[in-house]
A and B are shown apart, each in its own frame.
Chain A
Amino acid sequence: VTIERAPGEARERPAFAHASEAEMARILDFYDVRWEYEPTTFPILWNLEGDVVESFAPDFFLPDLGLYLELTTLKQRLVRKKNRKLRRLRELYPDIRVKLFYARDFRAIMLKYGKLALVDSLSGTLGQVTPEREPGEADTSGAVVAAPAADPPAPAASVGPPATSAAHSTTSPEEAIAAR
């Protein structure tokens, strides 16, 4: 017996930034769990002018579970930046549920599914897909140049609260890479 999806429910594949994300999408599809890929970018740091200077876009949102999911295949010692961003996200948006899947978690899942060889090929940066950089979108220093939030906080605040929990912004390619 195959449980078919309702007509029209077939998912188009987004351009995943990392092969591990594509694999996770296949797993979620397999178990019939609905997902959205990077639907929300949360501003987490603003400069004195009120511009968003750092943001965090969890890889997946699982709407039926009300859960954001972030994957990383970086080795444990390299995930400090991501952990910091996650802490900041949880401070600013205490009502959202977000789970970080570390490399060891992803490896354990792949071990369970008998696909350990695959995860070895995805670990670290080998699975990275370098995003195309839009002209003028980001500088070469790695500094984040994010679009302002929909309603940025007052310019006087260097670290301000989020304007709204649903605020969207654009994450630079450098940030997208560094955050993984």
Chain B
Amino acid sequence: MTTADLDSDVAEVLLSEERIQARVAELGAQISLDYAGHPLTLVSVLKGSLPFMADLMRSLSVPVRIDLMEVSSYGGATTESSGLVRILKDLSSSIEGEDVLIVEDIIDTGLTLNYLVRYLRGKRPASLRICTLLDKPARRLVEIDVEYTGFTIPDQFVVGYGLDYGELYRNLRYVGVLKPEVYANAG
């Protein structure tokens, strides 16, 4: 399978590479302005936000420290055994007293982010804000204050630029709508 095969599974390019890069640059400029003179810790939530994190951090002009977290998702391998979210990868160092920006790929229900925010607040950062590339408000269950949003998107299943279906499509350079037939018969 090649990326051309992955491309053929995409019904529509929602956000082109150029559009994403332009918006990431805008976000970077705004965040740099807001945090001018303050070192910033970016916390990326694996795995989907990796490309966004990589591009965003390089667009910032303030000193940046990065950290990575990964939490289990409902329906994953750990669901049946524990029934609770598991933190698969915790922060590498303390964020106490630091200005922290959570970097997310997409917010839909807000359940994962709500959990993460509560968890990170417990680590007593000086401030905690959220930056997401994509926001899908139609699915929102938990209202969360999001400081920086790249794009508000319609209620469609999207892949690419870090977003996956079955762990594939993350390396597409754009965000596209997956053809329904790709997942129609999936279990």
Residues of A that sit less than 8 Å from B by CB: 1-5, 26-33, 62, 65, 67, 69, 99, 105, 108-117
Contact = CB atoms under 8 A, between A and B. Distances in A.
A113 B186 contact: no
Interface in B71-97: 73-76, 79, 82-87, 90
Contacts of A3: 84-85, 87, 119
A108 B74 contact: no
Interface in B119-171: 119, 138-139, 141-143, 155, 157, 166
Given A31-B114, A108-B139, A1 B86 contact: yes
B115 A31 contact: yes
B183 A111 contact: yes
Contacts of A62: 141
Interface residues of B, number: 31
Contacts of B79: 30
A1 B183 contact: no
Interface of B: 73-76, 79, 82-87, 90, 108-109, 111-112, 114-115, 118-119, 138-139, 141-143, 155, 157, 166, 183, 186-187
Given A33-B142, A115-B187, 6 more contacts: A2-B82, A3-B85, A30-B74, A111-B183, A112-B157, A114-B166
Nearest to A114: B75
5 contacts: A5-B84, A32-B84, A33-B111, A33-B142, A108-B139
Contacts of B142: 33, 65
Contacts of B138: 105
B84 to A, nearest CB: 6
A110 B73 CA distance: 12
A117 B109 contact: no
B186 A109 contact: no
Contacts of A26: 74, 83
A60 B139 CA distance: 16
A88 B118 CA distance: 35
A39 B172 CA distance: 46
Given A31-B111, A117-B186, A108 B83 contact: no
Nearest to A60: B141
A116 B74 contact: no
B155 A108 contact: yes
Given A30-B74, A67-B141, A115-B75, A109 B109 contact: yes
Given A1-B87, A108-B139, A109-B139, A27 B111 contact: yes
Pick from A1, A3, A31, A62 the residue with the most CB of B within 10 Å.
A31
Contacts of A65: 141-143
B11 to A, nearest CB: 15
A42 to B, nearest CB: 20
A102 to B, nearest CB: 10
Contacts of B114: 31, 33
